Structures are given as C-alpha cells and as structure tokens.
Amino acid sequence: MPLGDISTLLVWGAATAFTIALVAYSVALARVADVASREHRAERAAKVAAARQARAAAREAVGAGGPSLVVPADVPSPALPPPGVGAGDDAPAVAVSPRFTGIARSTTYLGLALLLVGIVLRGVAAGRWPTANMYEFTLVGTLVAAAALVVVQRKRVIPFLGVVVMGIGVLALVLGLNAFYVQADEVQPALQDYWLVIHVGVAIIATGIFTVAFATAVLQVLQDGRETGRSHLAAPWRRADRVRRAFARWRVTGPAWSWLRTVPSARHLEALSFRLNAIGFVLWTLTLIGGAIWAEQAWGRYWGWDPKEVGTFVAWVVYAAYLHARTTRGWAGRRAAYFVYVGYAVVLANFTVVNLFVPGKHSYSGL
C-alpha cells in the first residue's frame, strides 16, 4: 500500500480517536452538570426550608408577645459564591468523572500519535514538508490544537475545553478528509523553498494555539456571566414573561449551568486566554514578517495587497487591538473576550473563504 494511503488511514484513525475523546469529554461534562444541578437543587431546598423555619419561629415569637421579626423572603445560600467571586483554582473537582476524563485523555494521546505519524508519512510520500495545501494545513493545525489542549490540561482537566477543542478538531479532520484532500505530490515551484517550513509552519502553530485560546474565552464569558449574575433571561420581559420563566433554568445563572462552579474563576480563565493569545500573536507576527520576506524573494515586493496578505493583516490588527486594550486600556472580562471571538473568526475566514473563493497569488489550496 502506498505511503500516502497509509497516511490517510492513520488520519481517519486519529479522527476516530478524537471523536471518542469528544464523547468522553461530553459525558464527563454531563456528569459534572448532573451532580452540580442536584447540589444546586438541594441547596435551594435547604434555603427554602430554612426560610420557612425562620418565618415559623418569627410567628411563634410574635404570638408569644415577643418582638416582631422581619424575615427576608430570599436568604442567599452560603454555598454559592457571591457575585464577582469565582470558583477559583481550588474549585471542587470531585464531580469530574475520573473514568471518562481518563478515557478522554488516553484517546487524545492516541489521536495525537496517529495524526503525527500520518503527517510524517504524508511528507515522506510527497517528498517535502507537509504544509503545502489546505489539507495538510488542516492536519498540522489540528495536531497543534490537540497538543496545546494537552498542555493546558496537564494538571487539571476541564471537560468544557475538551469538548470545544475536540469538536473543532474532529470537524476539521473530517472536513479535510472529505473536502480538502489532495494526493500527496510535489508542489509548484513557487512553494519549493525553505520558507514553506518557516512561514506556513509558524502560521499553523499560531492557529492551533488560537483555537485553544478561543475555547478558553468562551468558557470565560460563561463563567463571568454566572459570577456576576448577568443573564438576559434573568430580567423581566413583561409581555414575554411566561417565555422567560419557561427558559429560566437554562440561563447561565440557572441550575442547568451549575457545573460552572467546578471550573476556574473567570479571572483565571481570562489570564489563561491572554497568555495563549499573546503567544499566538507573537507567532502570527512572525508569520507576517516571514511572508513579506518570502514575497520579496518570490515576487520582488514585500507587500502587494493580495487577499491572503490582507486577511492575515486584519487578523493581526484584531489581536493587536485585543492585547493593547487588555494591557493598557484596562479592558477586561467580556469585552476583551469578544476581541478573541472576532480574531479567531478572521483567522478561520482567512483560511477557508479566502483560499476557496477569493483568487490571488496565495491560491494554493490544491483543490
């Protein structure tokens, strides 16, 4: 069997392993949510019972001629963190199923190994560095994202991050195998340069790190909403109040999201996202610089407003604005996370839309 076909089988095996990891992370998250929801309901029931006992004691005291007592209708539970206080790094992790997180970790490692061997065999079959088209970019980018997830979760497993990153990874591999796949072959002369390793390789690493940073920013916004009690479903809707009540349990401050109490605080997640995005931004900057140098060698100019160059620059501007706003303007929390969403969307659009639908000098998708 040709090495290229073996590589494809290994990539399918990696996609299967990552799918199992995705399911395991999802089950672990569901178990965390179930336990947290039961604890939330038990706390609410205990709070209601305590309030009833307090009111009963107040009525007895008044009936016996004692002083009148005013008992608040809603007594906050001491087990719930007050607004602005997150779960923190020492949040209880007993609700996380070690069995399913172990399966998720093992299958993630297996998928990484299969994907790495598949990429190496792809390069051997093509006789070059395997980053010359969209299919190979997808393989290596998924490898980097999964590896970054492993590094982030080396001390503590956060199932939500595993669900998001593995979900994106599985989608990318399946899309690559079915839509972006091309036979392993030599590349056109314009790409036969060592800059293929430097320029494209650095861009792939940055994209993988941005993926994990994006997942962290999503979790940060959810955690921030729960800590601060911010939820559109929590406010009265007047005419649609019945609808609000019907969906009340699904608001981020409701029992369905009680599992957020078992993850790090929003401040910690924001710090992690910032570090990942800072690393990705440095690599993305090197991508721009390396691309300009390669363009001067290949086409005799550093910058030509090619669609791919513009897309890369726009992504760089968004992430630069995020870092600037975060460090010098005091932007934090949800506003900073929205920059991350926009930046990651631009990176994905630059890889897919620009490559597939916008003609230019960087049209090297191979499709």
CA distance to 6, 103, 199, 311, per residue, from 281 (Å): 35, 33, 14, 15
Question: Per-residue b/e over 17-43, b at no fewer than 16 CB within 10 Å?
Answer: bbbbbbbbbbbbbebbbebbbebbeeb
Please state the pTM of the whole predicted model: 0.80
Question: Per-residue b/e over 62-95, b at no fewer than 16 CB within 10 Å?
Answer: eeeeeeeeeeeeeeeeeeebeeeebbeeebeeeb
pLDDT in tens, 148-204: 999 999 888 899 999 999 999 999 999 999 999 988 887 777 677 788 888 999 999
Q: Would you list the domain boundaries of the chain?
A: 1-58+97-187, 192-241+249-366
Taking the CA atoms of the chain, what radius of gyration do you get in angstroms?
A: 25
Q: Which of 269, 261, 67, 321 lies closest to 161 in space, CA to CA?
A: 269
Q: How does DSSP classify residue 237?
A: -
Q: Which residues of the chain have pLDDT under 50?
A: 68-94, 232-240, 243-250
Give φ, ψ of 220 to 5 degrees.
Answer: -60, -45
How far apart (Å, rounded) are the C-alpha atoms in residues 255 and 41?
A: 7
Tokens of 309: 């160059």
pLDDT in tens, 118-157: 999 999 998 888 988 899 999 999 999 999 999 999 888 8
**Predicted pLDDT of residue 305:** 87
**Predicted pLDDT of residue 109:** 97
**Predicted pLDDT of residue 85:** 40
Tokens of 115: 């994907």
How far apart (Å, rounded) are the C-alpha atoms in residues 278 and 283?
A: 9
Q: Give the up-direction half-sphere exposure of residue 187: CA atoms within 13 A in the CB hemisphere.
A: 21
